[in-house]
Amino acid sequence: MAKVILHIDLNAFFVRCEELENPSLIGKPVIIGRVGRGGVVSTCSYKAREYGVRSGMPTFQATKLCPQAIIIPGHYSLYSSKSHEFINFVKRYSKIIEQASVDECYVDMTEALKNEKEPIKFIKKMQDSLLKETGLMCSIGVAPTKFLAKMGSDYKKPMGITVIHRKDIPDILYPLPIESFFGIGKKTSPKLRQVGINTIGDLAKRIQNDDEETKHEFGKFYYGIKEWITGYGSDVVETEPWDPKSIGNSTTFKYDTNSFDEIKEYVSSLSKEVSDRAKEANKVGDSVQLVLKDNEFKVINRSKKLAKATNDYDTILTTALILLEKNLGDKPIRLAGVTLQNLIDPAEVVEQMSIFDNFDEIKEECATKLLIAELNRKMKKAVFKTAVESLRDKKYGTE
């Protein structure tokens, strides 16, 4: 039997938090973001959107479109506590909940709505209660899969409720532009439009043709897209709490520079932040990544594996500086970032290490075998090399 999955998306979440603190902002064009070098719009109110302001837009450009906009730097601890309120509210209805980001979650409501005669009315009441109790507005998608629920919550904003059964897919999703398909961004959509795929319906048609050429074009994604678009994608709401796989910190410099010493200062404070946050999260990682963005926005990504997983500041910094030294060229750099990757719990490292408690014994035991293996390899190589040489001699002839 089909499940009932909800995707709940908070509308203009950061702005709403600010409005609740300061009601005089309501109905005004509000932008959350930094002003000055590198400042972009994090999010904005619906009023600001009427002027063409969008997330990710440089703030200077946004103020040109909407000079009267009120610009507020983010108050992230406020948003975080409001986000907790939101999740706790939803948990009262169902424990099967997956937080997808600070302002959205998937909920499996199959059990909760089992005996409900009018489930949509129930969901509407839920939406109203959230507004009444927390002041937060949301859009809700209701569907048998996570993908369809996500598309549904996006369909009508703010305070929308959109139900998408499998049979509704052609009516609701097919007319939408290809960019609105979750996972198709600004690099992929022009390619699709070039081959005549302008809407989700166009994509569905191509996929359902089942021809080999389309399969080849989409490669690995083919069957995933097909499941999503036909309404048979995943309906499993993952209740596991979020477990970070990497912790990173990056910053845009006050001005572009290629001075090693200047960048080193940035890299040390970034490394400190990463180390502190990893310790706070009780995580260790075994790879350090350095990101550099130059003045032409070319990004390079260099990483180095550590001997053992750690969150030690000196190790992170030293590794990052080795990477910096190796990769800093003549180009002025505008941004640097340090990331600790492949995070695990320190307990797992202890387990891994304990395997090697008797390392000396093992080493001794293996030494002979290794030696033989190594000799074998060398001989194999030598034999191979001789063979190749002798062949070459035969072919070309040497003195």
> Is there a catalytic annotation at residue 111?
no
Give the C-alpha separation, 269 to 267, whole Å: 6
Length of the chain: 399
* Angle (CA) 109 112 114, round 5°: 100
Cis-peptide into 158, omega within 30 deg: yes
* Backbone phi, psi, residue 291, to 5°: -115, 135
The answer to whether 87 contacts DNA (rule: CB under 7 A) is no
Among 153, 22, 137, smallest CA distance to 32 is for 22
Residue 313, number of CB atoms within 10 A of its CB: 17
Whole-angstrom distance, CA of residue 357 vs CA of residue 323: 32
* Residue 268 is a binding residue for DNA (CB under 7 A): no
Per-residue x/- track, 273-302, DNA (CB under 7 A): x---x---------x--------xx-xxxx
Is residue 251 near DNA by the rule CB under 7 A? yes
Interhelix angle 200-209/221-230, nearest 10 degrees = 120
CB of 183 to DNA, least distance (A): 5
Nearer Cβ to DNA, position 112 or 147?
147
Which of 112/311 has CB closer to DNA? 311
Which of 96, 143, 317, 335 is close enough to bind DNA by CB under 7 A? Answer: 335
Instruction: Specify the residue, 19 or 273, whose C-beta has the smaller distance to DNA.
Output: 273
Which position among 94, 249, 271, 310 is part of the footprint of DNA (CB under 7 A)?
249
Would you count residue 103 as binding DNA (CB under 7 A)?
A: yes
> Residue 318, interface with DNA (CB under 7 A)?
no
Q: Which is nearer to DNA, 299 or 362 (CB)?
A: 299
Q: Are 51 and 13 in contact (CB under 8 A)?
A: no
Only segment of 54-62, 82-90, 345-353, 357-365 that touches DNA (CB under 7 A):
54-62
Residue 310 forms beta bridges with which residues?
A: 285
Beta-carbon count within 10 A of 45 CB: 25
The residues assigned a catalytic role are 104
What residues line the site for DNA (CB under 7 A)? 34, 36-40, 42, 55-56, 58, 60, 64, 100-104, 182-189, 219-220, 244-252, 273, 277, 287, 296-297, 299-305, 334-335, 337, 339, 373, 377, 387-388, 391, 394-395
